[in-house]
């Protein structure tokens, strides 16, 4: 105990000596470092550097420097087709992992694809087509080892909704299909363009919070849309709208009489009792509910024990097989259980001649394709980055965009609709031990065999099973933990999340997307136009100055007001920053006057967070300087960055304020301007 006390005393003595030393340092006015003024740069070079940092920050040509002609050609091919690079080290061990993963995700994707095609208002075979050609293209051009390619629920619903707004899929099925191929073509063109021009940063404008809300809303909407198949509603006038009010009105709004009561269990009696009045089919409900419980239980097993990941992966295929056999044996289709009926046999037919390249539908397809392509891209890039970080390898976002775009362009010419990375299948792919994109090739081969030989077996598959599979799949899109975390971290992000969610659920998918984008942009504009500012104080026994709200022990320097601006100063916020600084000054002077303390003599603006300044910003500083001169307060700047100091000298503002009023640190500014105040502190 005594030793510990001695150590504490020694520490206190050292602190006192250090503080005394800092006081002596302050009173002796040591050498103050000047802020470096960068030499003037050539305008062309400055523009070139800015463009390179914006579009070529990763320097994609670095591998080509100093290489021979043939080597550059090989590197160029590997840049376009990454498979040529990693295939050189491919071996039997990796193939074993890819084979297991490919077979596993194939068992999951086949039933899902048939159901997702329904979301897009397309025939079931088009979902299978979209899991055959696109994964092959991606395997050669993609840079992710874990993404499983194919149709996904959100994009299918979005595409189906946007297409249905233009053409009725039941009355004009041929035109609807052509518009779907056209939208897929332009979705691919959009993705390739973004990747080729290295504009991938544009998708980052859709914030994570907005995406969480949008996905959750889409999951609710998709699940509600499946009630028609899940409940066996045969009403041809079932709403095509996606909002919860319209769907629930269609579910509960119909009524007709019929059917007599039978002696079954209490639950079945209840279903039989209410089914005639609501046009529900109780046999369909029993089938759908039973297998939905089975699918959810399989998911629960997979979550509880990661080694049993294959259970939820193969559960959909098992459900399809068992339910199909059951319906075929019992001929439940004769009792009103709706079945898939017919899936065309054979691989993808060519559809290039069906794409609209002229006429009014060209513009419609382009508009729908851009929206669908951006959403598909956002989902795929997010999935790719997630699994790349888990396996600790780099994912080239621009290459991903080109690969995704190329597969959708080729897909549009081979009877596919928009495909992208699926989170559920990618997670299964990852847990199955996939090593490379060969798992996508394996999956594609299984889909090929299904299209060639197995499609007739799906004839008696009940629609309720497809609805149950989709419902169980989309429930994973609702991330409650992410919503809670968003609420804890940023309330404005939570508003964006909820805005996107309620927009999708109560209006439409496109409205939810519009709200998500609008709120994301509103947040950016708010942060740009109303940046944070802070009053700084000195941390005791140091020369460090920090926000007095964050560090209550920080003390103000008498006669000096220190303010930090936490943003670039542009035309959008320059006037606000000037007025905010003057408000700080006014409030502080009123407090000093009430306490009969000396007035403010120096206003020090800490500019290290100010990354840039424009003409309006310079003008605002000039107005601030004029206002301060009228109050007999001197303006001092601390630590302006290279770009800022360059513009301050170019505008001659540095001469107006005086070069001796620009310092390297706040401590230097305080020591020079108010040395006696530092001694008092």
- As a whole number of angstroms, the distance between CA 542 and CA 666 comes to 12
Residue 219 exposed, middle or buried by CB count within 10 Å (0-12, 13-18, 19+): buried
Q: How far apart are the first and last CA of the chain?
A: 34
> Which domains does the chain carry?
91-257+278-522 (no CATH), 530-673 (3.30.750.24)
Contacts of 142 (CB under 8 A, 6+ apart): 82, 149, 399, 400, 403, 404, 437
Out of 27-31, 189-193, 366-370, 618-622, least confident range? 27-31
pLDDT for 262 equals: 39
- As a whole number of angstroms, the distance between CA 618 and CA 644 comes to 10
Tokens of 282: 């109780």
| Closest by Cα among 409, 411, 405 to 197 | 405
Tokens of 62: 């670095």
Out of 9-23, 137-151, 230-244, least confident range? 9-23
Count of helix runs (H) and strand runs (E) in the chain: 29, 8
Check pLDDT > 90 for residue 207. Answer: no
| Closest by Cα among 273, 110, 226, 154 to 464 | 226
Confidence of residue 44 (pLDDT cuts 50, 70, 90): low
Question: Do 677 and 27 form a contact (C-beta atoms < 8 A)?
Answer: no
Burial 161-200 (b: 16+ CB within 10 A, else e): bbbbebbebeeeeebbbbbbbbbbbbbbbbbbebbeebeb
pLDDT for 260 equals: 38
- 86-105 pLDDT, tens per residue? 999 999 999 999 999 999 99
- Could you tell me which residue, 516 or 272, shows the higher pLDDT? 516
3-state secondary structure of 487: helix
Question: Do 354 and 362 form a contact (C-beta atoms < 8 A)?
Answer: no
Contacts of 371 (CB under 8 A, 6+ apart): 158, 162, 510, 513
Question: What share of the chain in percent tops pLDDT 70?
Answer: 85
- 303-353 pLDDT, tens per residue? 888 888 889 999 999 999 999 999 999 998 888 889 998 899 999 999 999
- Could you tell me which residue, 481 or 239, shows the higher pLDDT? 481
- Could you tell me which residue, 78 or 272, shows the higher pLDDT? 78
- 387-403 pLDDT, tens per residue? 888 888 888 788 889 99
Instruction: Report, as an integer, the average pLDDT of 59-74.
Output: 68
Contacts of 400 (CB under 8 A, 6+ apart): 142, 143, 144, 195, 380, 381, 384
Check pLDDT > 80 for residue 496. Answer: yes
pLDDT for 677 equals: 57
The label of the residue with tokens 């031990």 reads: 433
Q: Which phi and psi (to 5°) does residue 273 adopt?
A: -65, -45
pLDDT for 261 equals: 37
Burial 321-331 (b: 16+ CB within 10 A, else e): bebbebbeeee
pLDDT for 8 equals: 46
Contacts of 617 (CB under 8 A, 6+ apart): 568, 569, 570, 571, 574, 577
Q: How many CA atoms lie within 13 A of 281 on its CB side?
A: 23
Question: Do 327 and 286 form a contact (C-beta atoms < 8 A)?
Answer: no
pLDDT for 585 equals: 95
Orientation of helix 92-119 relative to helix 423-431, angle to 10° = 160
Average predicted confidence (pLDDT) for the chain: 85
Instruction: Report, as an integer, the average pLDDT of 451-465.
Output: 93
Tokens of 166: 């233009």
pTM, two decimal places = 0.78
- As a whole number of angstroms, the distance between CA 19 and CA 40 comes to 41
CA 167, distance to chain mean position in Å, is: 30
- As a whole number of angstroms, the distance between CA 258 and CA 179 comes to 41
- 405-433 pLDDT, tens per residue? 999 999 999 999 999 999 889 989 998 88
Check pLDDT > 50 for residue 27. Answer: no
- Could you tell me which residue, 66 or 557, shows the higher pLDDT? 557
Q: How crowded is residue 402: how many other Cβ atoms within 10 Å of its Cβ?
A: 22
pLDDT for 244 equals: 85
Confidence of residue 268 (pLDDT cuts 50, 70, 90): low
Check pLDDT > 50 for residue 25. Answer: no
The label of the residue with tokens 């992208």 reads: 420
| Closest by Cα among 221, 190, 156 to 416 | 156
- 367-384 pLDDT, tens per residue? 999 999 999 998 888 888
- 112-170 pLDDT, tens per residue? 999 999 999 999 999 999 999 999 999 999 989 899 999 999 999 999 999 999 999 98
């Amino acid at each position: 105990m005594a030793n510990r006390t001695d150590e504490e005393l020694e520490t206190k003595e050292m602190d006192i000596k250090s503080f005394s030393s800092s006081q002596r340092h302050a009173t002796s006015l040591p050498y103050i470092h000047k802020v470096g003024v960068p030499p003037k740069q050539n305008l062309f070079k400055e523009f070139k550097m800015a463009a390179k940092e914006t579009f070529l920050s990763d320097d994609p040509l670095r591998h080509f420097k100093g290489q021979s002609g043939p080597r550059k050609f090989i590197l160029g091919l590997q840049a376009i087709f990454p498979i040529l690079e990693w295939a050189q080290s491919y071996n039997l061990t990796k193939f074993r992992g890819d084979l297991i993963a490919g077979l596993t995700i194939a068992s999951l994707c086949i039933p899902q694809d048939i159901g997702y095609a329904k979301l897009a208002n397309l025939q079931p075979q088009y979902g299978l087509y979209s899991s055959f050609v696109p994964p092959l293209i991606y395997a050669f051009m993609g840079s992710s080892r874990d993404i499983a390619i194919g149709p996904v629920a959100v994009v299918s619903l979005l595409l189906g909704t946007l297409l249905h707004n233009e053409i009725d899929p039941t009355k004009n099925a041929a035109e609807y299909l052509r518009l779907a191929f056209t939208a897929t073509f332009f979705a691919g063109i959009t993705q390739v363009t973004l990747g080729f021009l290295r504009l991938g940063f544009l998708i980052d404008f859709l914030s994570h919070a907005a995406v969480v809300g949008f996905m959750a809303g889409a999951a609710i909407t998709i699940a509600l849309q499946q009630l028609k198949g899940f409940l066996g509603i045969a009403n041809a006038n079932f709403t095509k709208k996606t909002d919860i009010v319209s769907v629930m009105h269609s579910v509960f709004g119909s009524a007709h009489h019929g059917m007599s009561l039978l002696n079954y269990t209490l639950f079945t009696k209840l279903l039989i009792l209410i089914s005639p009045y609501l046009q529900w089919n109780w046999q369909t409900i029993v089938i759908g509910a039973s297998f939905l419980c089975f699918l959810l239980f399989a998911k629960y097993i997979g979550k509880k024990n990661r080694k049993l990941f294959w259970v939820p992966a193969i559960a959909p295929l098992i459900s399809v097989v068992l339910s199909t056999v059951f319906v075929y044996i019992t001929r439940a289709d004769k009792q009103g259980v709706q079945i898939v009926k017919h899936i065309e046999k054979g691989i993808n037919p060519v559809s290039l001649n069906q794409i609209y390249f002229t006429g009014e539908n060209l513009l419609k397809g382009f508009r729908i394709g851009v929206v669908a392509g951006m959403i598909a891209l956002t989902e795929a890039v997010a999935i790719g980055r997630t699994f790349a970080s888990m396996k600790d390898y780099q994912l080239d976002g621009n290459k991903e965009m080109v690969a995704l775009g190329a597969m959708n362009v080729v897909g549009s010419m081979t009877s596919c609709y928009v495909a992208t990375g699926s989170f559920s299948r990618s997670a299964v792919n990852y847990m199955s031990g996939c090593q490379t994109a060969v798992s996508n090739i394996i999956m594609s081969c299984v889909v090929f065999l299904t299209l060639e030989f197995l499609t007739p077996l799906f004839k008696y598959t009940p629609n309720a099973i497809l609805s149950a599979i989709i419902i169980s799949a989309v429930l994973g899109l609702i991330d409650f933990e992410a919503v809670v975390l968003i609420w804890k971290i940023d309330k404005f992000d939570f508003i964006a999340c909820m805005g996107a969610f309620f927009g999708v659920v109560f209006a439409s998918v496109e409205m939810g997307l519009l709200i998500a984008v609008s709120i994301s942009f509103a947040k950016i504009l708010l942060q740009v136009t109303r940046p944070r500012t802070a009053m700084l104080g000195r941390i005791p026994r140091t020369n460090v100055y920090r926000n007095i709200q964050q560090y209550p022990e920080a003390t103000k320097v008498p006669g000096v007001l220190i303010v930090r601006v936490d943003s670039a100063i542009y035309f959008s916020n320059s006037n606000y920053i000037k007025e905010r600084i003057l408000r700080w000054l006014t409030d502080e002077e009123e407090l000093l006057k009430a306490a009969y303390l000396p007035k403010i003599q120096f206003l020090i603006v800490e500019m290290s967070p100010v990354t840039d300044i424009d003409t309006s910003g310079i003008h605002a500083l000039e107005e601030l300087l004029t206002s301060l001169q009228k109050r007999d307060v001197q303006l001092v700047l601390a630590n302006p960055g290279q770009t800022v100091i360059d513009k301050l000298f170019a505008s001659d503002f540095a001469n107006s304020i005086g070069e001796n009023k620009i310092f390297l640190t706040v401590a230097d500014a305080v020591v020079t301007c108010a040395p006696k105040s530092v001694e008092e502190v």
